[in-house]
Amino acid sequence: MLDGRRARKVREQAIRYAANGWPVAPLAMPGDGGCPCGNGCVEPHLVGEVVRDGVQASVVWDRSGWGIALVTENYDVVDLPPEYGALLNQQLRTTCPTAMAPLRRRWWFFLVPGSIPAAQVARAGGVLHSGAGGWVPAPGTWTETTGCIRWLVHPYLTHWRPYQRRDAIDRVFL
Question: Is 37:18 a contact under the CB 8 Å cutoff?
Answer: no
Q: Which is nearer to Zn ion, 130 or 143 (CB)?
A: 143
Minimum CB–partner distance for residue 60 and Zn ion (Å): 16
The Cα angle at residue 102 between residues 101 and 103, in degrees rounded to 5: 100
Question: Is 79:92 a contact under the CB 8 Å cutoff?
Answer: no
CA dist 72 and 68 (Å) reads 13
Q: Which is nearer to Zn ion, 39 or 145 (CB)?
A: 39
| Residue in 14, 25, 28, 100 binding Zn ion, rule: CB under 5 A | 28
| 46 binds Zn ion, rule: CB under 5 A | no
The Cα angle at residue 27 between residues 148 and 106, in degrees rounded to 5: 35
Q: Which is nearer to Zn ion, 39 or 120 (CB)?
A: 39
Number of chain residues interacting with Zn ion (CB under 5 A)? 5
| Residue in 35, 46, 92, 124 binding Zn ion, rule: CB under 5 A | 35
| 39 binds Zn ion, rule: CB under 5 A | yes
Sites of contact with Zn ion (CB under 5 A): 28, 35, 37, 39, 41
